[in-house]
Each structure stands twice: as C-alpha cells, then as structure tokens.
Amino acid sequence: MNFPKNYADLGYVRVAATAPYVVLADPEANASEICVHLERLRDDSVTIALFPELSITGYSCEDLFFTSDLHRATRTAISRIASASAGIVCVVGAPYLTDDGRLLNCAVVIADGEVKGMVPKSAQPNYGEFYERRWFVSGDGLDLGVKDASLGEFRLCRDQLFRLSGMRFGIELCEDLWAPEPPGVQHSLGGAELILNLSASNDLVAKADYRRDLVHMASAQRLCGYLYAGAGPMESTKDVVFGGHLLAAENGQPLGESERFQLEPQTLIVEFDIDKLRHDRMQNTTFGNAKRSVNHRVVDLSMPTRKLSKLKRVYPKHPFVPTDEDEFDAHAREILNIQTTGLARRMLSANVESLVIGISGGLDSTLAFLVCLDTLVKLGKGESVSPLVIHALTMPGPGTTTHTRDSVDRLCTATGVTLKEIPIGAAVDQHLADLGHTDTTDVVFENIQARERTQLLFDYANKVGGIVVGTGDLSELALGWCTYNADHMANYNVNAGVPKTMVAYLVRWYARHRADESLCHVLERVLDTPISPELIAPQDGEISQQTEKIIGPYELHDFYLFHYLRNGFSAEKIYALAIRAFEQAYQNEEIKRWLGVFFQRFFTQQFKRTTLPPGPKVGSVSLSPRGDWRMPDEASVDRILEDIDKLP
C-alpha cells in the first residue's frame, strides 16, 4: 500500500551534507564536482544540498584568496552551479569581495537558477593553526544590497533566513558555532527550524567528539535541526588534516554521521521532521519566552520541498527502549535509581519502615517488588530483608491461576520475603450477594475483585504502619486499563512513569545483571507469562483473559503513546510511521484498528489520570496531572476517530 503518497506532507524535508572532492584554487573543477552531486541528490529527492566552507575554491588557498583571477573564476563557478540548481536548494562556500573592498567568507544560497543570498561568516578564528583574519573580515552587523553583474541581485547579510514551503533555515559558518554567542541562536529564535553549517574544521585527537557534542547540544539548546558539512581530506595537508566530518542532529538527537578521513567524496542524507521541531518549541515555554533581539530578513525561495514517496529515517518499534545495549544498561540503572530514590524519600517523609505491596505474579507487580527490595538497600537495611519491612500480600480470587500463584511463592522464596495470603473469594461472593448481582463475567464482577484487593492493601498498611506501593504502569494509565479507586490507587506508584515495553525490559535486565540464579529463574517465568488481570475464571487451569487480545498489543500502544505525547504527531502520521516500523509484525488493518482503540481509550479514560496518586517521572513522557499532561476529562475524540476511519 502506497501510504502516505508524500511524507513531505507530514512535515519531513530531506537534506544532504556532502564533502566533495576538492581541487584547490580551481573553482571550475569544483563547480563541475558540485553539479554532479546536485544531479544525484536531486534524483534522491533531496531538497537542500549543503557543501563545506569555501567549497568552491577550497578552504586552504591561503594568500591565493588575494588574487583577482580566483575571484573571477569563483563568480563563473557560482553561475554554473546556479544554472544546475533547478528544483534543489544548494548552499556552497565561496569568498566574496564587496564593492568597498572587504573580503568575506560567505555561504552562497542558490535556488532555481539564482543566487538568493549570501551569509558572511562572523567569527574569524585567529589562533593556533587558524589565521583567517589575514584574508577575511567579519560579517557581523553587515547588511548590504548587492547588484552583481554576473550573480544578480541579493542581500549580503548574516541575519537573514530562507523560507521554503513554510519552513525556514539559517546559516552558520564553522567558527560561528564555537563562538560565545553563535548567530544560530538568534536564527532559531527568529524562526529557523534548521541551521546549516558550512565548515572547515581540521581534525585533532578527540576534536571530533567535541565537534559532535557541539552540534548535538546546539540542536538541543535551540530546539532545531542542525546539519554540518566539514571540508574533506583533499584540502591542503601542509600543517593540518581535514577529515570531512558530516553530522546531523535534531533537538539533541543524532540523525546521522559520516565516516571521516575518506579520500572519496562522502554524503550524508537525512530527513528532518519540521512538524516535530515546531511541536517541541510550542511546548517549551523557555524557548517561547526567550528574548528576540534580532530582526531577521526573510528570503522566500519560492519553491516547494521535494516529494518524498519513501522515508529513509528509521523509527524503532519500541521508542521508549534504547536499542544500544550499553545505552540500555545505563538507562535501566538510572530508572531503577529514580524509582528507588522516590520511594525511599516517601518512606522517610511518612516516617514508616513498612512497605505493603500486592503481588500477582505479573510483570508490573514484580518490577515494583524489585524496586521495594532496592529501596531497602538504599535506606541501609542491608541485603537481608526483614518481613517487618516488606509486607508482600497475595490475594487470589476467582481468576487466579496456579501458574501465577506459584510465581508469587517462588518470587518471595528467592528474595527471603515472607508472603501473606488473603483469599478474596468469600468477600467477592458476599459483595455480589449484597448487590444482588449474579453475572460473573461482567465489569461489575471484575471491579469488585480489584476494589476488594485495594481495600485490603490500604487496611493492612494501616495495621502495620506502612504505605501501599502501587504497581500500575504508564501504558495502563494511558489506556485507562485499571479500575477507578482500586488498582488505580496507592500511596506511591513506583511504576507510574514506566511504559509496559520498558517494564518487560527492566525485569529482563534485572534478571541478567542483578539477580542470583533462583531469582533469575522466577523473573524469566514471569516474563513468559501472558499479561492478564486474571479477573475471569481460568479455562482448564489456564489464563482465560489476555489483556493484549482485548485492548491490543502493548508495543503498538506504546508506539502510539510516545509519538502522540512526546512528538505531538497526528493520527495519520502515527499510522504512517507504525506501518513502517511494524511491517513484518502486523497487518495494516490491525495497526489501524488498535490505533482507533488507543485514541478512544486515551480520551475517554482521562478522568482516571486526573486523580492519580504520586509517582516518579522517569522519562520524557509522563501522564501526571500535576506535571506533564493536563487534559479535560470531557475532551471529544470524535474528530480523531473520524480521521482514523478515513485512513486507507
């Protein structure tokens, strides 16, 4: 299925940074090389092609920059590139001599056969191996209207932005990024979603790491996309070597990076999500309230972004879970530290030494139980846990299976925690009789069990002078998959910020890195158990009520949740990305069906989130009504569901 027909309609723009083969002091040869790249990039639906600093002449021409022959050849080369620029924006580096005799290091913006503007470099490095002030002057504060006989009419100005189908980009040149007040900061505040950097930064030991950090942090600080094109190894190597470093980052996240020190031309092609950047800026009031001190000129390039029938950008199926194992290891430790520190602080505040937790043999309560164990260690209780400190309750009811009941026993045995069993069957029967209710398959029957268990937990906490530790996770809160004023409640919910996909990974990580052999076996057993509330009677002793068959796969819902809350994506865009991410796992009809379920439940179940108990935020997505997510209980979902119905 060809959906969507054009990813550009969903906010994407494809751009490229290229470190071409450079012939020093030969603009004609370099123009030919750049034109070859432009043709190839245009065929690949690239909208903006970025080349390094002084790429038309080469950066390391030294005193040849003073020769009139080089400047005449440069103008001819720019004109040639302009004639080859139909349908693509080309940004190249070139020296430019003004009528009043100032030589500037410029970025030349070319589109549809014309020079649309030149942006001069502001910061001229004149230290160490750099001595740019020998040739160039700063463009800081410069704003000239240029009428050039060969290049046409344009502005030569640092503080100008270029508009393309509604998006805007600004330009920095190399050292501008290193400067104490980078011009790109005001470019971003002025509306540039994308910053392009033409650079000629030589390579030294560890300099690439520093450069990479600068690009990533610049994109994060400015909430922008950042594309960096560094000069390659064909520059002069008389005293320094240039690696041809190409980088792309979006609001602090790396999108791509080239190999360095390649003698052949290198190209990095990425897609920036302009809609996401606008959402991030809209949501960030620090950015919105920042002072705008520059009045930028805006140059309309009068051309659309290129159509994108396919997307190169990859979206992971599990956006909450890092794909890199080392990164996940660090995340797992961090999340558990946040959970345990939050719970420890609550215990100190409440002046209690008892934690009361209901254990079901499922994933969520198992993770919460592990957090309780680690919390006691943090508070100095030692490795041996006293039964007077953790009160583990299991409350089997009509839907409890032997499998999960055995898992609870094994979990407590492996950790040395005394388990107390309080069956709720008789209480449920009495409650049904009091209500005059006979149906044992409906929501009344299910909720009676959930509320009976919660009542027991709170009453037991009163008895032992402890607090009730909640176990429900972020995904369940998003879907409202909890009983109001039952498992919905706790004194402190340690899993409130952890989505279901992350819960599973954390338990698996704990089994591999923290558990002894006996505990590891129990955790693996829990991981292999189907997710279920176990509120309906088992069939032939097996779990009869599987959550993911009722409300859909949690990995889909976590994907929807992340992109709706974190990125503000529309249902159409989420659907398009889910099709790509899960093409081997689910049919499109399934993805569409569960997308409708997600939005239906997310909107109609907000009333449960409005009254959530406290719990720690562990990632960038949270549903706390006191923090990240505030939404009226009565918000209508009809329009979104209608949009989903129209999806192919």
- CATH number at 260 reads 3.60.110.10
| Mean pLDDT on 146-150 | 93
The model's pLDDT over 558-587, given as tens digits with 9 standing for 90+, comes to 999 999 999 999 999 999 999 999 998 999
Annotation marks residue 312 as catalytic:
no
334 and 292 in a single domain? The answer is no
The pLDDT assigned to 388 comes to 61
The domain in which residue 152 lies consists of 7-300
Q: Return the CATH number at 357.
A: 3.40.50.620
Whether residue 368 has pLDDT greater than 50: yes
User: Is 560 within a domain?
Assistant: no
Q: How far apart are CA 307 and CA 310, in angstroms?
A: 9
User: Is 411 within a domain?
Assistant: yes
User: Is 182 within a domain?
Assistant: yes
Number of domains in the chain: 2
493 and 544 in a single domain? The answer is yes
What is the pTM assigned to this prediction? Answer: 0.94
The pair of structure tokens assigned to 123 is 């910061």
The pLDDT assigned to 274 comes to 98
Kindly list the distances between the CA atom of residue 239 and the CA atoms of 153, 236, 467, 534, in Å, as whole numbers in the listed order: 39, 8, 68, 72
User: Is 557 within a domain?
Assistant: no
User: Is 232 within a domain?
Assistant: yes
Whether residue 386 has pLDDT greater than 70: no
412 and 466 in a single domain? The answer is yes
108 and 199 in a single domain? The answer is yes
Average pLDDT over the chain reads: 95
Contact predicate 371/494, CB 8 Å: yes
Whether residue 454 has pLDDT greater than 70: yes
The pLDDT assigned to 544 comes to 83
The pair of structure tokens assigned to 138 is 């700063």
Q: Which residues pair with 111 in a beta bridge?
A: 89, 114
Burial 273-290, CB ≥16 within 10 A → b, else e: bbbbbbbbbeeeeebeee
Determine which one of 33, 53, 175, 257 is catalytic.
Answer: 53
532 and 441 in a single domain? The answer is yes
The pLDDT assigned to 129 comes to 87
279 and 333 in a single domain? The answer is no
The model's pLDDT over 583-621, given as tens digits with 9 standing for 90+, comes to 989 999 999 999 999 999 999 999 999 999 999 999 999
Q: Which residues pair with 197 in a beta bridge?
A: 172, 228
349 and 277 in a single domain? The answer is no
Single residue among 266, 300, 334 that ends a domain in this structure = 300
User: Is 349 within a domain?
Assistant: yes
pLDDT > 90 fraction of the chain, expressed in percent and rounded: 92
The pLDDT assigned to 1 comes to 58
The model's pLDDT over 10-41, given as tens digits with 9 standing for 90+, comes to 999 999 999 999 999 999 999 999 999 999 99
The pair of structure tokens assigned to 504 is 């599973």
Q: How far apart are CA 81 and CA 90, in angstroms?
A: 8
The model's pLDDT over 203-220, given as tens digits with 9 standing for 90+, comes to 999 999 999 999 999 999
The pLDDT assigned to 308 comes to 96
User: Is 598 within a domain?
Assistant: no
User: Is 316 within a domain?
Assistant: no
Kindly list the distances between the CA atom of residue 350 and the CA atoms of 355, 389, 456, in Å, as whole numbers in the listed order: 11, 14, 20
Whether residue 381 has pLDDT greater than 70: no
The pair of structure tokens assigned to 561 is 């949740």
Contact predicate 143/159, CB 8 Å: yes
The model's pLDDT over 631-644, given as tens digits with 9 standing for 90+, comes to 999 999 999 999 99
89 and 203 in a single domain? The answer is yes
| Mean pLDDT on 431-440 | 92
Whether residue 380 has pLDDT greater than 90: no
| Mean pLDDT on 279-298 | 95
Least confident of 10-19, 324-333, 376-385: 376-385
Determine which one of 174, 224, 372, 482 is catalytic.
Answer: 174
Annotation marks residue 53 as catalytic:
yes
379 and 483 in a single domain? The answer is yes
The pLDDT assigned to 385 comes to 46
Single residue among 552, 579, 609 that ends a domain in this structure = 552
Single residue among 503, 534, 552 that ends a domain in this structure = 552
Determine which one of 33, 61, 121, 534 is catalytic.
Answer: 121
Overall size of the chain counted in residues: 648
399 and 260 in a single domain? The answer is no
The pLDDT assigned to 362 comes to 96
pLDDT > 70 fraction of the chain, expressed in percent and rounded: 99
Annotation marks residue 174 as catalytic:
yes
229 and 370 in a single domain? The answer is no
290 and 359 in a single domain? The answer is no
